[in-house]
Amino acid sequence: MQFDMKILVINCGSSSLKYQLFDMDNEAVLAKGLVERIGIDGSQIKHTKTGMDAVTHITPIPDHKVAIKLVLDALLDKNHGVLSSLSELSAIGHRVVHGAEEFATSVKIDAKVMDALKRCIPLAPLHNPANIMGIEAVTEALPNIPQVGVFDTAFHQTMPRHAFIYGVPYEYYEKHKIRRYGFHGTSHYFVSHRAAEMLGQPIEKLKIVTCHLGNGSSITAVDGGKSVDTSMGFTPLAGVLMGTRSGDVDPALLPFIAKAENMNLDQVDALLNKKSGLLGISGLSSDLRDVESAAAKGDARAKLAEDVLNYGVKKFIGAYAAAMGGIDVLVFTAGVGENSASTRAAVCDGLEFLGIKIDPVKNDMRGKEMEISAAGSRVHVMVIPTNEELMIARDTKRLAF
């Protein structure tokens, strides 16, 4: 299994499926694609062979089984496929959202693991069932292929108890597993390790704050290579302001809004997840590009939305420097972190007292791996594009055989 190892990475949502096929001899992406509207009218698969234009096939896709079959067919297609036989596939890696306390690392999937994944469903009722369906669909199509699960929560299982226990009756932790879990772990792991590699320093010696800022955002304190705190919590609603999610609010807002707006708790939950954040404050868009351009034209609420985001991220950096007793490296990643020079500048402005100073010329770029700190900045400030799919492929290669 040394040569010609091809690994397919699958990220199943409830009505979508993203995939990437890697040649692990050189970590090149051979093909990738997206299946959308599974189980909904107008479903389609968009497939791209590296170096060629995308091809879109609109066809009924009633469930994940059909979706997987279409992905495998696309990979085998005479014109835009990249495999001549499915036997060329060495293993499949799945993104799994919630591993609870059952999984502190990625794992090769077997019957016991499937049972544990099912036990995690109450903690991620929208995501884990889709991940399980994806695994089952692959098992049906390719019964003998090794499969590996890579969890969004696993990297954060190293958090100390004082960072993950909430101030609610302790029985709820025991009975309902209520605690901080954290998410985006694969991304925080990837960029923190990449930062250490770029600096040529052992990660064990570094105190790193990683800012994954996208539609969903989270900040993590990585001390000596281990997550010691993270801004998302029991669910991905907690932490900083996001595209449509509120981030942290006073929990007493929930009953207050329910009464004031005559809503039930599910409606308030949906409001905080889908109608809040940048969208809620700006009243315009959940997309930071729209908010930035409206703010630049003088829209006061768009500017306020930006300010709330930047101030929130800045406070977490300060908090995590305190949690770790210092900070050596600050990393920005994901859609906003990689692309928005103005967010990075505003977040870092005022953090000079921590030794953080960025170079405005170096900062004026996007989507590139680069150190943007100014000469003399004690803290290395870095932009590192995240690559969760590659991380999943690497773990799959390590664990599948």
Catalytically active residues, by annotation:
152
Tokens of 370: 């680069």
Output 106 or 217, the one with its CB closest to ligand ADP. 217
Which of these segments, 282-290, 298-306, 351-359, 370-378, binds ligand ADP (CB under 6 A)? 282-290
Residues 6+ apart with CB under 8 A from 130: 12, 13, 14, 64
Residue 272: CB atoms within 10 A of its CB come to 20
Q: Is 391 in the site for ligand ADP (CB under 6 A)?
A: no
Nearer CB in complex with ligand ADP: 209/213: 213
Stretch binding ligand ADP (CB under 6 A), from 32-40, 287-295, 306-314, 376-384: 287-295
* Position 185 contacts ligand ADP (CB under 6 A): no
Q: Could you give the CA distance from residue 10 to residue 166 in angstroms, rounded to a whole number?
A: 33
**Spatial contact of 131 and 92, defined as CB atoms under 8 Å apart:** no
Total Cβ atoms within 10 A of residue 371: 17
- Work out how close the CB of 232 gets to ligand ADP at its nearest, in angstroms, rounded to a whole number: 12
CA atoms within 13 A of residue 373's CA, in its CB half-sphere? 19
Q: Are 382 and 371 in contact (CB under 8 A)?
A: yes
Residue 288 touching ligand ADP (CB under 6 A): yes
Encoded one letter per residue, x for contact with ligand ADP by CB under 6 A and - for no contact, window 236-255 reads: -------x------------
Strands 380-383 and 329-333: parallel
Measured from the CB atom, the residue of 71 and 288 that comes closer to ligand ADP is 288
Binding piece for ligand ADP, criterion CB under 6 A, among 141-149, 163-171, 174-182, 330-338: 330-338
Q: Does 274 bind ligand ADP (CB under 6 A)?
A: no
The window from 141-149, 203-211, 288-296, 371-379 that contacts ligand ADP (CB under 6 A) reads 288-296
Check residue 287 for interaction with ligand ADP (CB under 6 A).
Answer: yes
x/- track of binding to ligand ADP for residues 201-220 (CB under 6 A): -------------xxx----
| Cβ neighbours, 10 Å, residue 368 | 10
Single-letter amino acid, residue 109? I
Query: What's the alpha-carbon Rg for the chain, to the nearest Å?
Result: 22
Using CB under 6 A as the binding rule, whether residue 336 contacts ligand ADP is answered as yes
Given 119, 176, 205, 289, the residue binding ligand ADP (CB under 6 A) = 289
DSSP characters for 53-122?
--EEEE----SHHHHHHHHHHHHH-TTT---S-GGGEEEEEEEES--TTT-SS-EE--HHHHHHHHHTGG
Q: Is 222 near ligand ADP (CB under 6 A)? A: no
CB closer to ligand ADP out of 324 and 334: 334
- What is the C-alpha separation between 110 and 114, in angstroms, rounded? 6
Q: How far is the CB of 143 from ligand ADP (least distance, A)?
A: 32
Q: Which is nearer to ligand ADP, 176 or 275 (CB)?
A: 275
Q: How far is the CB of 15 from ligand ADP (least distance, A)?
A: 15
- Of the candidate residues 281, 334, 354, 399, the single one contacting ligand ADP (CB under 6 A): 334
Site size toward ligand ADP, by CB under 6 A: 14
Alpha carbons 366 and 187: distance in angstroms, whole number? 18
Q: How far is the CB of 372 from ligand ADP (least distance, A)?
A: 15
CB 335 within 8 A of CB 360: no
CA–CA gap between residue 195 and residue 67 (Å, rounded) = 36
Structure tokens belonging to residue 68: 């997987």
Q: Which of 157, 340, 363, 373 binds ligand ADP (CB under 6 A)?
A: 340
335 binds ligand ADP (CB under 6 A): yes
Phi, psi values for residue 235, rounded to 5°: -135, 170
Q: Pick from 339, 373, 377, 387 the residue near ligand ADP by CB under 6 A.
A: 339
The answer to whether residue 366 forms part of the interface with ligand ADP (CB under 6 A) is yes
Contacts (Cβ under 8 Å, ≥6 apart) of 174: none
Q: Which residues bind ligand ADP (CB under 6 A)?
A: 214-216, 243, 287-289, 292, 334-336, 339-340, 366
